[in-house]
Every structure is written in structure tokens, then in C-alpha cells.
Amino acid sequence: MKLLVFQHIDCEHPGSLRQFLTRDAVDWQAVELDAGEAIPALDDFDALWVMGGPMDVWDTKEHPWLLAEKTAIRTWVRDLQRPFLGLCLGHQLLADALGGTCGPQQPPEIGILEVELTEAGLAEPLFVGMPQRQKCLQWHSVQVTDVPADTTVLARSDACPVQSMRVGERAWSMQYHVEIEPDTVDNWAAVPAYRQALMESIGTAGYQKMAGDADANMADMTRAAEKLYDNFMAQL
């Protein structure tokens, strides 16, 4: 099995999911698109993961490589029909690339917050064995506003109705982060765009609470990440 990972900033890598890739001796290759690395031949890979990043799906003038990335996502999901997992920006790119739309998230969701599986989500193989309500890291100011054709919404929150979706049969994505590690909050807070959004949304006290909530829920979030990883791999 060979996995391709699209990254958009160095600190948004597969996070805690890396330990499970190592456990299973998965051959995986990360492509740092924001650093100018080229997308390799897609036929050489069995699964594609698309991670988060500080840019928005419409920032194609500042980041023209987004156009090639969206084309690759369309090819992967619609033509090759191979397993796909998108997180945060990866969730939004899946929607945008396949004919959906994204827009501002008002208010932004930043913190350790709760998402709820829909009835469809409870029956979805990706979420087998996972609780209907789960805590996760949220750090986004954009949301999916219109889903692509052939989409099933799998999770929601009060502020964001499309927290997770499946497009077609083998493309899954989540607005929230399952890959959080003990140093994730501090590492991401060091990114100027993320820190600005954080301070404008929840302030210093909110940041301290988020860091404490992350520590308190880390074990549960890591278990959820492992279960989701195992469920995804079972679909290959």
C-alpha cells in the first residue's frame, strides 16, 4: 500500500496518524505544495490524504499551485475513484474541486469543541465504533456552504452543518482535526495567520483554555484518531 499526502504548511502533517502508518509499515510520501514540490504521478498511489493549511480555497492568485491540486483531487476522486481523506483545508478543497462551494465561517470555530455524527454518519464505515458525540480540535474560519453532487453529510456542529462528508463512495473529509498531538496547539499558534484568528476569536484566555482542554482530552482524541485510521484502511 502506498499513500500520497498533500501538505500546505510544514506543521500540518498527518500528526498522530503517523504512528499508525509506522505501526503498519505503510509507504507514504508527503508533497509540500506550498514549498513548490510537484505532484507526482497519481497512478503510483493507492490512497490520498489532503491536510490543512492557512490559505483559503479561493487564494489561487497568491497560491497558484492550488489549481493543480484541485485538478489532482478531481482526477483522484472522480476518475481514479481511489480512497481519499481530507482534513480542514483538505475538506474544503474536496468540496471546491468537485463543484461545491465554501464561504466564511461565522463565528469561527476555534478550540476543543464537540461534533456530532448524523444518522448517516452513525452507519458510515469510516465511523464504525466511534461515539456519536466526540471532542476534536477546531481551527477554521471557512466552511463548506454547498456540498458537491453525490454527497452524504456525516457529522455536524451547531456552528457548522457540514463537519464531515462522503463524496461518492470512497472520498471522506472532515472540517475538524483528528490528528492532534500534544504539541499541536503550541505549534499552530506560532503560525501568524493561525495566531491572529485565534486571538480575534477567543483571545489569550481562550487560548489557555484550548491548550488545557487539548491536554485533558488528548487520550480520547488519539484513540479516535486510531479508530478512524483503522476504519479508513479497512476501505482500501
Beta bridge partners of 47: 3
Q: Which of 91, 136, 177, 181 is catalytic?
A: 177
Contact at 8 Å (CB) between 175 and 160? yes
Contact at 8 Å (CB) between 139 and 198? yes
Q: Which of 88, 102, 136, 160 is catalytic?
A: 88
Q: Which of 12, 109, 124, 179 is catalytic?
A: 179
Q: Is 179 labeled as catalytic in the residue annotation?
A: yes
* Interior/surface letters 200-229, b for 16+ CB within 10 angstroms, e for the rest: ebbeeeebeebeebbeebbeebbebbbbbb
Q: From CA 206, how far away is CA 202, in angstroms rounded?
A: 5
Q: From CA 215, how far away is CA 236, in angstroms rounded?
A: 32
Q: From CA 93, how far away is CA 100, in angstroms rounded?
A: 9
Residues carrying an active site annotation: 88, 177, 179
